[in-house]
Copies of this chain bind each other. A is one copy, B any other.
Amino acid sequence: MRTSIATVCISGTLEQKMLACAKAGFDGIEIFEQDLTVSAMSPEEVKALADRLGLTLDLFQPFRDFEGVDAATLAANLARAEAKFKLMGRLGIDTILLCSNVGTATINDDALFAAQIRELGLLAAAYGVKIAYEALAWGTFVNTYLHSWRLVELVDLPNVGLCLDSFHILSRGDDPAGIETIDAEKIFFVQLADAPVLSMDILSWSRHYRVFPGEGGFELDTFMGHLVRSGYDGIVSLEIFNDVFRQSNVERTAVDGMRSLIWLQDLTCTLLGDGAQGHPLGIRALPEAQRPDGFDYAEIRTEDPEAVAGMLAQLGFTFRGQHRRKPVTLWSAGAARIIINTQRSRGITAEVSGFGIQIPDAALATERASALQAPAVPRHHTPDEQPLHGIAAPDDTEVFFGTSAAQPPWAVEFGHPHTTETGLITGIDHINLAQPWQAFDESVLFYTSTLNLAARPGTEVPSPMGLVRSQVLRTDDGAVRLALNIVPHGLENTTDRALRYPEHIALHTDDIFALARRAASAGMEFLAVPKNYYEDLAARFGLDAPTLAQLAELNLLYDRDEHGEFLHFYTETVGTMFFEVVQRRGGYDGYGAPNAPVRLAAQFERNRAMQY
């Protein structure tokens, strides 16, 4: 599939945008006019740079507010268009995007629209320009793609066709199935955008909240399926207006966009089954997606392992050995394996630096991640060591693919082939990772596409330093669960200890009372839960006094829903990480979200106290 992206999607100068798009692997770009207008590069330089980079210049856009006007306005509009056709000649672009009129249209008459667009088409033909007409969802008179298609049919010129934009179709709730009724030869251009499910006016939604495919709520694989079946064989481009993308790193955002198109093609192939084979659009499947079977390990980086080692021991972990070659130690409890790494740890008190997942075929998962442009994490291995397949997530977390096995083959490098023993801790329940606000959408797509996780509906948790947006990504069976939290704006680089946002590893147990008691007697420091919380618990759940007393004594938190119960506690924070221990009873499948504000407030107060 030939891929393109509108320059308005990403930040920086036109030159920076072009370099980033080429580097990310796009075949071409759409020149968003304003990016050219404000650029010091001449049209000839832009053309030459595109040639050098191997980028095609696919579309000049937008041309606005043309049709449905009086004769004087039409004349002015044609003059304006002619200047742009000349400019396109210098750029070597042969297609212009004509948006349906949203501002100056005064006459609602299909015949007039068609006649005026036809006049534009004839003028364009003289310059070798094709017109791709697009119905904006908020067009004054023309706002559905089937209406724009009727007009294109009325115009009946070889150089006047359609531009289809998934946002303008799906935001209105229009059925994209009608795409299959359109003559594919007359679809001149296709733009894709996803968007989160929001209830607001379509214009604001479109201008600020669009995201790359896979980062929102639209069914873009279905959309693509209709496109494939229409017979379309042209360019599929991204046109995303997003306030965050516009201020994020240009190279990363371009890769994020490219990843979304690669992922979407794979999804569409799955949807179509064999129907995708040999089709002119040329969509490509990825190496097969596999379901992760569980966490292989979680890794903590620290310059001084004593504090973390002490906590692991208090929680009931057993030291399993030092790696044969690296300054890395292995601890285990049940199926939970924790690696403490002191490499590259200068100045790091403790942080969650990565994790491994078990997957049926690690090499295949790596191949798929690589095809999704996940950056590889370099790891040397000697001939007698297991090869490590690692990728770096947008939040710098290092993720490694390990083979599904009760006994991971790499464990022998720590001198102990068998790491599993029965005990109170049974495994890793979930890992909670802090995301910088710029990388949230990118992270969701990265983790879901490379690890084959599904995104659950997000939530927001109040904290003393602002609302924390939280998003769970997981396998259906819960074997792998990640919780991504967006750190409130402005706090991500803070040097204020009280404001730094910690990450955590949640361990699972089948007897949290016994585990908490043992940890307490081993000297474990729990995050202190306020007494008010237990009084509120009593009012909300009608728990009996002895149970409440037991919970309060051990600083345990409690939640309940129609499926079951959830009990959990938090340890004190070391550096920017802490542990949680959870017990799930019955079918409880959540994460104790109602208790998260208690945790965040207690950590905030604790950190304030430690500052003095």
- Chain A residues proximal to chain B, CB less than 8 Å: 8, 11-13, 16, 33-34, 36-43, 76, 79-80, 83-84, 87, 198-201, 204, 208, 243, 246-247, 437-438, 462, 464-467, 488-491, 528, 530-533, 535-536, 538-540, 542, 597-598, 600-602, 604-605, 608
Contacts and interface: CB of A to CB of B under 8 A. Distances in A.
B462 A34 contact: yes
A263 to B, nearest CB: 26
Instruction: List the 9 closest A-B pairs by CB distance, nearest first.
Output: A247-B466, A83-B539, A200-B200, A38-B601, A199-B201, A247-B488, A246-B466, A37-B536, A40-B530
Contacts of A438: 490
Contacts of A465: 11, 246-247
Contacts of A8: 462
Nearest to A200: B200
B199 A598 contact: no
A490 B246 CA distance: 12
Contact of A201 (B37, B80, B200, B601): B200
Counted per complex, copies of this chain come to: 2
Given A464-B11, A489-B490, A604-B13, A530 B38 contact: yes
B542 A246 contact: no
A246 B489 contact: no
Contacts of A199: 200-201, 204
Q: Which of A39, A41, A43, A491 has the most CB of B within 10 A?
A: A39
A490 B34 CA distance: 24
B489 A532 contact: no
Nearest to A532: B37
Nearest to A491: B247
A498 to B, nearest CB: 10
Given A11-B464, A247-B466, A38 B602 contact: yes
Nearest to A90: B535
20 contacts: A8-B462, A11-B466, A12-B464, A13-B601, A13-B605, A13-B608, A36-B532, A37-B532, A37-B597, A38-B533, A38-B600, A38-B602, A40-B605, A41-B530, A42-B531, A43-B532, A87-B539, A246-B462, A247-B489, A437-B490
Contact of A530 (B11, B37, B491): B37
B489 A437 contact: yes
